[in-house]
Chain A
């Protein structure tokens, strides 16, 4: 393509755009509408995905929760059906042997424990845990409080951390931190209240409704050291596989069971759940994307259709231009350019509208609105922007290409004859 070609195409294009302002506006509007649709669908999908995974991860990420069970295989002369019961000491052993793990802790639990403050008694789940539990299980304290720490555990302090709903049940509008609470009739000091979070998965009970005390205190209070669950936490999800294998080997050699025996532990590996929901959401995003793309393509078919009509209407004009010495490219060029520029402008306008809508929706407070807590806020992401650009680009080229090809096929000799 020479500079001359470009000059001629631009000249012809600018003149036809000048003469067809209304058509150009409508065309751009239809593309803009398609773009808004695709972007909004993708934004809602993205928001939903982020919110969902945030909610799903509210329990913590990369966790493998082990419930102890019974052996199902004969091993070294020992019969099957032996219960395997981990104890507090096992935690130190596992921490020493499994370097992949970021944190390992045990939990002891009683389902209904009386918590009394003044004249009010509330029954709630009570967990005795190691202090590492706090960060990994996202028990972030509200300002003014803290979670359990290493000294609490070491000194078997009588301190309790409360879920926010439980705290409200017991204390109402009163400030709980620093107050003394009776747990099974023993006095405990409230050291912190959990920050609010929307949690969609849990074991035992929802975090907002339970009370947490140091595992050592729990042992002293209840007089037992058998663990309810043993939990492994890795920093990276890909380390979980190795950590699990290693933990199984350590426990198998300590308690004497066949390492291949899959019934000894009931294991919930959240990494797998994360992978599955990631796939589900990818599928959902693709579904939204396809719907959006189809909407956009309808817009582009409209553009192509209009341009087809223009080609037909201007058959004689095109013939005249050919007779006057217009090369093929000078006839097709303006149509291609028209398709691309209209799609570009429409896409730009649509993107602007979508950004405004998403920003406005982002200003609505979701706090306390249950629907929004689950749906999340529409979010525009780079991948969805890239997908939109790709669809728009393709559609724009096609919207110009087919009419242009039709225009190029015009035979000047037959169109110029007087009728």
Chain B
């Protein structure tokens, strides 16, 4: 056995790609968890088709999982990958474009038979026709080797086929010098009552490692040291899980029951799945008959004194619209979580987009202001959901908590917060009869009292018809209506009194300010950082609150010569900024169902700066 060279790397991006039935998401998740435990910083991008088991070998059936990890700060899942693991010809075809020149391909040669090549549209086999010369190609018959590793177990070819992703995983563990314990433990737990499958997967995983160790195929192994993260205890977390936990933490702090009314929808369903586990926290999850029942049941629960939540994606919000208007009118706390996906209509269910900002701001009949807060990274979904709950309860208002497909499914290391240090949430139920009126208002927040059914002496009626100021009785008077419209708007506006002022990362004035919101945070941060390293006067403003916006946003915008707003839509925030602050902001827009590559933003910044100089 030849001595293998070990090479140190600061960061690497690997993409696992195969059929949607090949277990690529599982492989990627396992590699991610192991990498997280090793202390690397990381960011992931699962990229899978809407079809559960698309026909094998087809281009549209390719499922991918990209992980970017390193010993430095990692903000994005990586613009391009350094290593592509392709389980068949279609996976290579779809993903080759994202591999860097000189990158490594590990191809399962069994997935390149005549049928596979035809389905992928290859006239000749790329593994043998020399077309991949600019890459380091390792062609390995993973299927055959998997079969050999477990041939004495007499398993069906279907089961053998299902294990082959563990061979690929074992290879990558060897190549990047990762311990296998975490995955071994996972397999033992997951298949504990299926001893044959457990045994097969364990053997195949180790076979992948041993194969790499023994053969001459790989001359180099890589080492990626731990990142210099802030001290503390970490775990890896996806956006959807973090969001679910943020809601539980908020309810717990508030001493309220958490009620989730939800209808399954990609990519938000995992929040419903996650919350339905925590019955011992008193969490009540209700899988409703439709999106409308999801939100209305949550509103009913809020009337009863629970923290009412509904989780969905854009098409679901469209259906919930009328009920959100009702929540505005009856002024009850309600969290509406939108894990945005590609639209319009059914659109791209499994892909990411930020195209529901204007829907959140304006997508209701009448003047119906709703506060909006958006998460920036997968782990940030925790704090965002917690903050959304705190504000909804304090101001007695529905609120949008925006995430997106990339954040929801993506993951990153998370510095576990100290629960006891989280802000207090202290809702109060009105119980004094003296001077009670359903629509009297708190002087500071303008919120109305929360008097829940069961409170003696406070019987009252609420509803969607216009309310008389103070008494809450149905009222059609022209001036009262205008007054109440303004009152509801003012209440939401007053949230700005307590949200933090916006802070520019970098300086407070300069040539170009890049303004972003939501899941583009990491790409913008990386792009701006690169320009700053080059000495360019480029700065980053991230808006966590979209409604109301921090009080100082205008002030900041006016200090920059140019304002660039990159968004995964046709220009929604930029429209709002231009209308609200009368600034000549320009957009950088991408609507491909994929996150920004930071280089795309970098190039746009370059273009603007070149025009200036």
Partners in one complex: no
